[in-house]
Structure 1
Amino acid sequence: MAYRIVVDSCCDLPEDYRRDEHFKVVPLTLIVDDTEIIDDETFDQLDFLRRVKESKKGIHSACPSPQRYMDEYETDEATDIYVITLSSKLSGSYNAAIVAKDMYEDEGGTNKVHVFDSRSAAAGEVLIAFMIERAINEGLKFEEVVEKVEDFRAKMGTYFVLETLEVLRKNGRLSNLKAALVSALNIKPVMAGDDGSIVKLGQTRGMDKALIQMVDHIKKDTANPETKTLVIAHCNAPARANKVKELVESIMPIKDVVIVDTAGVSSMYAYDGGIVVSV
């Protein structure tokens, strides 16, 4: 069967996947003060980070319209459409994709469409995309692919450490006082995704210790690592991403490690120096 994998722009696909005709990216819009930035191939990470640093009013994102998703469903090039969005608890992207599916079917569309709520972001969406492609290459039918990937998503783990909590402060998710105290004490929270929400696993002083603590959690939570692919998404921090790769490979027999740089939405969440890991 011909297929298409549609992802929102929080999915930090490797470059070779972005060039693959089977993959389509639906961009979100980033708003920094009064400036709108489309999260597509024109996104300039360094310029965006500069704008965020200088921001006075805050940073937000706007999800794609249902019509933008529907444009990807209305194709003669594929009969099986798989859609991956960032967590429905973090964005309206998932709901927009679902509304588009309903619109498409109401108008008599015949392609099969399934929307996956990643319950994650960034590296987590990438892993789900990898799993969909793998299941398709195994020759599974549409319904079998959906079942296998839904099961995989339920067991997937996403972990992250941020260099700074300034963006969380600027978009109103953290008080000024708490952000200032964390910054002054050089405290780095170690966090994870829990069914699409964000939870704190622990905290420590200094980034190096936080990364070690994060990797320890990954080892504890990952069964049969020799069969797993691990994705590391970093925001302007390639050396740090490689350090995490080395830490992981030193304590567990992981099958494969893929490192990607964050695009717009992930750069907004992770900010400069942030690391997101999914396995």
Structure 2
Amino acid sequence: MEKIALLTDSTCDLPDDIIKEYNINVMHYRIIYKDREYKDRINITPEYVYENLDKEIPTSSMPAVDEMENTFNSLEDQGYTHAIVVTLSSGLTGFYNGVKLVAENHPKISTYIFDSKSISIGEGIIVMECGKLIKRGMAFRDIVKKIPDIKSRVNLFFIVGTLEYLKKGGRIGKVAGTIGELLNIKPIVAIDNDDGKYYTYDKVRGRKKSLSRMIEIANKIFDQKKCQLYMVHGYCLEDTKKMFDELKRHKNVTISKFCGSISPVAGVHSGPGLVGLVIFEEND
């Protein structure tokens, strides 16, 4: 009989109650300062990252190989026969390839690794939906077949306070940088479904207009079909909560969840001022 494990990484931004409900195994990114290192969401808070950016911008690293190995060893000890791993976009990190190598060392577990080509709750929704299917008793191969469709219904958009941190962290992708900043252009950023890198979905001049435009984009999607709404922020609670309270009133929003702050490691690369919007389209 199949026993299916579900794994992801700490950037998925799923609340603790969801992680517990679906028995999700989370592997943790690392945040590295010159003289110290932290494990994402374990011994560092998002607030600590933001409040110390003026002193030092840390680097980040994917979950340690030891942690990945220990996770798979534990699954073997618990008698798991199969595993589904959903990773942060391979366009932003090497975790997808890293966990693939570790999984090959554990042939007793049949492992399927899915590149979310997303981040934060965009990644988290895929994990959560897999958790629901596992809980329902669906067979491993049938879940695997459904994951691309789940991914195709995820829409992710965000704006940041400044592009400075995306540029410094090498995560700028196809988002216009320096000239746009001089003209006060505030891009609405999405992730390319092909290469999993950031790109400019739309651009407007000024922060206020960019927030209004993101609301327009969301409502246009909501007008077409029933959707779930999820929002996260990066040291930007007020703007994000205000947008969330407005969007959740749309008649086609079936579930609305304010998920709080993004992971500390994501905060390193986005900086303060992030408003993140994820829309999950319901099946017809």
- The answer, yes or no, to whether TM exceeds 0.5 is yes
Residue 11 in structure 1 maps to residue 9 in structure 2: no
CA contact (8 A) 1:225 1:252 kept: no
TM-score (norm 2): 0.83
Report the CA distance between 1:140 and its aligned residue.
Answer: 1.5
Distance across 1 between alignment mates of 2:265 and 2:32: 10
State the match for 1:204 in structure 2.
Answer: 204
* Distance 1:191-1:90 versus aligned 2 partners, 3 A rule: same
Report the CA distance between 1:244 and its aligned residue.
Answer: 2.2
* Distance 1:15-1:225 versus aligned 2 partners, 3 A rule: farther
Q: Segments of 4+ in structure 1 off by > 6 A?
A: none
Distance across 1 between alignment mates of 2:224 and 2:128: 18
SS at match of 1:104: coil
State the match for 1:41 in structure 2.
Answer: 42
* Distance 1:224-1:112 versus aligned 2 partners, 3 A rule: farther
Report the CA distance between 1:190 and its aligned residue.
Answer: 0.6
Alignment RMSD (CA, Å): 2.5
State the match for 1:241 in structure 2.
Answer: 240
Report the CA distance between 1:128 and its aligned residue.
Answer: 0.8
TM-score (norm 1): 0.85
Gaps of 5+ in 2: 280-284
* Distance 1:12-1:211 versus aligned 2 partners, 3 A rule: same
State the match for 1:143 in structure 2.
Answer: 141
Distance across 1 between alignment mates of 2:121 and 2:165: 19
CA contact (8 A) 1:59 1:170 kept: no
State the match for 1:88 in structure 2.
Answer: 90
AA at the equivalent of 2:269? Y
Query: How many equivalent pairs are there?
Result: 269
CA contact (8 A) 1:160 1:190 kept: yes
Report the CA distance between 1:157 and its aligned residue.
Answer: 1.7
Report the CA distance between 1:205 and its aligned residue.
Answer: 2.9
Report the CA distance between 1:162 and its aligned residue.
Answer: 0.6
Identity of aligned residues (%): 24
Q: Which range moves more in the overlay, 81-90 or 28-37?
A: 28-37
Q: Which range moves more in the overlay, 45-54 or 16-25?
A: 16-25
Of 183, 192, 195, 1:194 maps to 192
* Distance 1:180-1:54 versus aligned 2 partners, 3 A rule: farther
State the match for 1:278 in structure 2.
Answer: 278
State the match for 1:155 in structure 2.
Answer: 153
CA contact (8 A) 1:127 1:231 kept: no
Q: Which range moves more in the overlay, 8-17 or 149-158?
A: 149-158
Q: Which range moves more in the overlay, 165-174 or 195-204?
A: 165-174
1:114-263 alignment, distance < 5 Å: 114-172=112-170, 182-183=180-181, 185-195=183-193, 196-221=196-221, 225-226=225-226, 228-251=227-250, 253-260=252-259, 261-263=261-263
SS at match of 2:253: coil
Report the CA distance between 1:242 and its aligned residue.
Answer: 1.9
* Distance 1:140-1:204 versus aligned 2 partners, 3 A rule: same
AA at the equivalent of 1:193? I
Report the CA distance between 1:161 and its aligned residue.
Answer: 0.7
SS at match of 1:139: coil
Distance across 2 between alignment mates of 1:172 and 1:136: 36
Distance across 2 between alignment mates of 1:32 and 1:52: 11
State the match for 1:98 in structure 2.
Answer: 100
State the match for 2:282 in structure 1.
Answer: none
CA contact (8 A) 1:234 1:273 kept: yes
State the match for 2:32 in structure 1.
Answer: 31
SS at match of 2:252: coil
SS at match of 1:89: coil
AA at the equivalent of 2:101? V
Report the CA distance between 1:275 and its aligned residue.
Answer: 1.8
Distance across 2 between alignment mates of 1:147 and 1:216: 33
CA contact (8 A) 1:73 1:81 kept: no
Distance across 2 between alignment mates of 1:32 and 1:222: 42
* Distance 1:181-1:50 versus aligned 2 partners, 3 A rule: farther
* Distance 1:33-1:186 versus aligned 2 partners, 3 A rule: farther
Distance across 2 between alignment mates of 1:253 and 1:6: 31
